Each structure stands twice: as structure tokens, then as C-alpha cells.
Chains A and B, each alone.
Chain A
């Protein structure tokens, strides 16, 4: 099977997982993780082997379903973007306590530089937090092989493995040789340690002590991991620790090989023993890591005094944002390549809602109504429609995380805001808005929840949305009065009707839902082609 493929890092992981005998992928779309699941959904092996691959309602339900599959002895993969791990944090932390039965790999894709995200949190902290091993491939080929290694490790040590990718790994393509032998899926087989799966305090205390011991073993494993290595260099004026893809930027700048001792790390817990070895040879260590300074910060507490640690904290490399070959070049003390000056002619071109998008017509109508309510506040949410904050609409006052529109509108309404309007997409609503709407019903909050329903998960490229066709029924089931669940079709010719409906629901002092429904024009174009 030594076929050569041109694969994204996401796809390399997906193919590696399929070849390793995957039984199910559980995921919620999120940039830059989406293509892992999409690749599995499109693969012939998925159909042949009946691999579960439909999207989950959110990252928490995905993580829990995968844990259930692992409990039953089969191999499961969970995928989400870094902030999705926050949503899944409860079952994620719990899974370190239950441990894994069938191999369980959790792929969390970080987005340093926030290309399409609201923060640049580094998932490796979650690994240390949960006492879970973390795998972080440095290139696409390694991502393919590491997928199997992660499942093997998970089954050998009976622990879920956090698999960390970052944007430049997830969304960069390279030639990958898919040479692993296709392996059978696991049979149904329940855990040998059933008590561990019931995390009552009496069991959890026992398990916690075991996990602490295991974590030391994981660190010993990392010292001898084939994905980590220490390589001495002729020049002992400095040593370099390069984690994950940072290793590529280091080697890019050292075409004749790195002159300094190098510690390349792709498997955690961090192998501190190897860092101590380096510290016995050099007085200065440069830490290159994509994301936040996790290794750099902890290294200082591990090394003997008198060793200077350089990295993001002392601005040897940029404190925030992703690494670049240029930033690493400067940190190595190399001069920049000659380069032209930036053009003074170029204007910024921020992303915008598509021409013809239904969100546009919804915002136009909403803005027209709110001209008459100067104190109105509009609580936004996560999706394409967040672009409604930008000109020409400037229609949103907040955007924080998935589902926050519905609940922040309630808190603000209670504090005295009126009108208090939430704007949320259909997929985000079923992801995390429904529970908030139940709160609103239970307190009879004076809010208008506008669901801008484009019948898909638009921002990530048009994945199925969990509540399509059932939003009215869901809202009614949660207790919103039927007469205050209103549906409008966002088109310019409908502005008068749309505005009338929005105005009436603002004037109603209770919970109302306005569903503005028209298919995403991107998915519409795709459906028209078929």
C-alpha cells in the first residue's frame, strides 16, 4: 500500500486512523479540524467497514460518544478545533480518569494567529492538565504514522491520547506515503477494570493515584519515543528545543544541518531528562514551540540555575501569533533575506458575507427596526453571521463563544437592557443555544432570539446542521409559546414583513424566537450543480 498521496495534515491523520482500524469518528466542524472528518466521510474504507462518521451535535456529545465506543473496546477518533476542547472539557477530563479501553485519540486543532478563531489557546495545556499523553506531529508524513502510534499507545497504556495539530499542519498539503498495513477493527470487548469507569469518589481516588504513577511512565516513554530525539551539534554556544512543526522552521534555516544540539519533541509529557542532558552541554537554550510558551515556562523550573532560557517570554520569538521561518531565523541570530518593501498601495480586504447571503437581508431588516430602539443591544454568536459586526451592518455588540448570544441576552435583559436581542445560527443553536433557551423560558426572560437559519454549518464549508427542519418544533418543545415562534424569509422583497415580525416580537415582553430561514448560497450553488 505504498501509494503516494498529496494530503493535508488533517487528511494524513484521517487516513492513518482509517488504516489503523478505526471504528468511528465523532466531531463537530471547526476550522482547522473539519477536513479530518470530511476525509473519513468520503473514504471508501469508511463505507466498507461501516465506520461511524456523521457529525455530532457539539464537541461534548462527540467526546462522550467516542468514549462510549472506547468503552466497548473499539477505536474511536474525536476531532474539533481548540476551543471545541473547552466544550468537551468535562468528558475529556473524565476520560483520563476512566482511561481508554479501545484506542481513543482526541484530535484538537489549534489556530495560533487566530486565522479563524477567537483565541489562540494551546491544547497541550489540556494534556498536562488531564495527565494525558500528547502527540504533536512535525509534518504530514509523521501525522500519518503517528495516528496509528497514538491508537497503539492508547491501547497499550489504557489512556486516551490528545493529538495536537496547528493550522499550518492541518491545512498544509504534502506528499504522504501511506505504507501502513491495513489493520482490522477491534471486536466488541468491555474493560477489564470496570470500577474505573464509574468515577464515584471511592473509585476516582484510587484511579487518580494510579494516573499520577502512569503519568511518570508516560514521561519515561517520551524519553525513548521514536518521535522525539536529541542530536548533538558542533556549536555548544546554544541548544535548541523544537516542538512539533517548529522543528521545520528550525531546519528550514539550517540547510546544512543545525550546528547546535537539538531536541525535537513530538510526544509529551515533555521528556525533561533530555532537556537536562542538553543543559549539561550548553548555557543557553532556545525554545521553539507553536502556540503558548508551555515548555519554555516549565523548563526554568527543571533546569539547574545559570541556564538562560530564550523563547517567546523574552521576545526572542514573537510572543503571540504563529511561528514563521522568518521569526525563527531572527531567533537563531541569522540576518533576514533581502526583501522588497511592503507596497503602500494595498488596502485591507477583510472577509465579508457573500453577496446574496440570507444573513445580509436579515441584518438589513434588523437594523431597520432597531433604528427606532436606540438602547437595543444585539448579542451575537459564532458563525458567518459574526461578520455582521463589520461594516456595512455593524449590527452586533458581542461575540464570545458558541451559544453565548442566547444566555448573555438574558443576563443583560435582567440587568435592564431592552430590547435585548440574540442572533445565532442554526447549527450554533443546536450546538449550545438550546439549553440557554430553556433557561430563558424558565425565567420568562424578555428577549428575542433570532435564529438565522441557512440550513447548514456555513462557516466551515457547509456541513449538515443537526436541527435542520426541526427548529420550530425544538423551540416549542423547550416551551416557547407557539405564537411567538415566527418564521421569516430573508429577501429584499420581504423587508416590510420581516420588520413587522421583528418589531412585534420586541414589543412582546417574554421569550420569542424569530427564525429567518433561507439556504446558504454556497450550498445552494453546490446543490444546483448536482
Chain B
């Protein structure tokens, strides 16, 4: 089995924390993994993406071919659309619906929503609000991770929870538990959508 994932967002939103948890879980499950990241100038408030590939077999390319991604997972709705040509015809879009507006010509949100709605497999939720309601505003990316866990399949939700425990262990039990709650909220939303 293999899963190719494009993680998208705006520099500083924390897409790499999602990748770190998945990476930890994948390592534990003896999966092969490649994860191309963005460092340097582009991180400064620009669009960022990470190509994350998981497979039970060896992986060659660090980059996902166009039309090859099983999932686009985005912390920002317009950024999810940026990578559409990479999505496989039966691929999923899992996206935050809260826009990050730091450019003057950000498109009308109705157009962004309409474009997302055209896609057959979409899970769209306001992870910022879900996280805030849980009293864990910084856990928005864990809500999104939970939302993608419902369709990821190559890693079980419990393996991802274990990943969260390992990655956040040094920050203390409270942060671990809050992030697990955020994860579970995203997972529940996504399961109800399906």
C-alpha cells in the first residue's frame, strides 16, 4: 500500500508539525517514508507545501507526480486548491475552511468554497474554531490531522495518537491530552462526513 499526501498551508501555520507526527507513526510501523519540506525564504508568510509519501514498499522520488496524490491536506482553503493538478482523480481534499488573508487580492471566499465543493471527496471544516472551542487554539493542525486520519488508512488512528504522544511528550501530559482531544474532534467530524 502507498499514500501520497500534499500538505499545504501558509508559512508559519505549522504544516510540518503534522508531518512530524505522521513521520513518527510511520517510523514506528516500519513504513517507508519520504517527506520533502520547504525551508528558507518561502517560509516567510508565503505558500508552503510538503510532499509526504508513505509506502510499504521502497519509495524512489521525493516529489509526488502530478495526478498522483491521494490526499491534499491543507491548513488554508485557497492553498488546498493551489495543488489541484497533483490530486489523483479519486483523491481526497481535507482542508481548513478559515482563510488566512495576508495578500491584497485574496479571492472571494464564495468562489473558493464553490471550487472546493466541485470536488467529490472533500472534508472541509474550520479547524481554527474547533481548536479554539476545545480551549487549544494552537491545536488546529492536530484537528486537521484527525480529519485526515479517517481517510488515510495506511496508518490507523491509534498509531497517529501514539505519534502525538511521542512528539509532544516533552511538553507535558496536558499538552499531549489536549492535542489528542483536538485530533479526536477532527476524526469524529471526518467520520460523520463520509
What is the interface of chain A, defined by CB distance below 8 A to chain B?
4, 6, 8, 31-32, 34-35, 115-116, 168-169, 171-175, 245, 247-249, 251-252, 324-326, 329, 336-343, 345-354, 384, 387, 459-461
Nearest-CB distance from B185 to chain A (Å)?
26
Asked whether, in the complex, the Cβ of B61 is within 8 Å of the Cβ of A248, the reply is yes
A-B contact pairs, 28 of them (CB 8 A): A6-B27, A31-B41, A35-B39, A115-B41, A115-B42, A168-B36, A168-B62, A168-B63, A171-B37, A171-B38, A172-B37, A173-B33, A173-B37, A245-B62, A249-B63, A252-B65, A325-B64, A337-B88, A346-B107, A347-B78, A349-B10, A349-B102, A351-B11, A352-B46, A354-B12, A354-B44, A384-B44, A387-B44
| Cα–Cα, bound, A32→B32 (Å) | 23
Contacts A326-B65, A337-B68: A172 and B44 contacting too (C-beta < 8 A)? no
Chain A residues with CB below 8 A from B27, complex form: 4, 6, 175
Contacts of B111 in A (CB 8 A): 345
Asked if B87 lies at the interface with its beta carbon under 8 angstroms from chain A, I say yes
Chain B CB within 10 Å — which of A249, A349, A384 has the most?
A349
| CB closest residue in chain A, given B105 | A347
Q: How many residues of B contact A (CB 8 A)?
A: 51
Nearest 9 pairs of A and B residues by beta carbon: A116-B40, A31-B40, A337-B67, A339-B67, A351-B46, A252-B61, A172-B62, A343-B81, A351-B44
Contact B44 A249 (CB under 8 A): no
User: With A6-B27, A336-B66 known to touch, is A341 a contact of B61 (CB < 8 Å)?
Assistant: no
Given contacts A248-B60, A251-B60, contact A173 B87 (CB under 8 A): no
Would you call B139 an interface residue if the criterion is a C-beta within 8 Å of the partner chain's C-beta atoms?
no
In the complex the two chains form, what is the Cα distance from A267 to B40 in whole Å?
28
As a 0/1 sequence over residues 100 to 111 of chain B, the CB contacts with chain A under 8 angstroms (1 = contact) are 001101110001
* A346-B61 in contact (CB<8A): no
**Which chain B residues lie closer than 8 Å to A339 at the CB level?**
66-67, 85-87
Q: Is B43 an interface residue (CB 8 A)?
A: yes
The minimal Cβ–Cβ distance linking B85 to chain A, given in whole angstroms, is 5
CA distance A236 to B36 in the complex (A): 34
**CB under 8 Å from chain A, chain B span 101-132:** 102-103, 105-107, 111-112, 115
Q: What separation, in Å, do the CA atoms of A345 and B106 have in the docked complex?
A: 9
Tell me the bound Cα distance from A498 to B111 in angstroms.
Answer: 44
Inter-chain CA distance A4–B88, complex, in Å, is 31
Quote the shortest CB–CB distance from B161 to chain A (angstroms).
Answer: 18
User: CA–CA, A354 to B35, complex, Å?
Assistant: 26
Interface residues of B in 19-60 (CB under 8 A from A): 23-24, 27, 32-47, 51, 59-60
**A349 in contact with B46 (CB, 8 Å):** yes
Q: Shortest CB–CB separation between residue B170 and chain A, in angstroms? A: 13
Q: Which residue of B lies closest to A325 (CB)?
A: B65
Residues of B within 8 A of A329 (CB): 65
A326 touches B66 (CB 8 A): yes
Complex CA distance for A248 and B44, rounded to whole angstroms: 30
Distance between Cα atoms of A384 and B106 in the complex (Å): 23
Bound: A338/B67 CA distance, A: 6
| A325 nearest CB across to chain B (Å) | 4
For residue B84, CB closer than 8 A to chain A, the reply is yes
B39, A31: Cβ atoms closer than 8 Å: yes
Docked Cα-Cα span, A34 to B40, in Å, equals 9
> Considering the chains assembled together, what is the distance between the CA atoms of A247 and B35 in angstroms?
17
Minimum C-beta distance from B58 to chain A (A): 9
- In this complex, what residue of A is CB-closest to B79? A349
Q: List, in ascending order, chain B residues with CB within 8 A of A384's CB.
A: 41, 44
The distance in angstroms between the C-alpha atoms of A247 and B60, with both chains bound, is 8
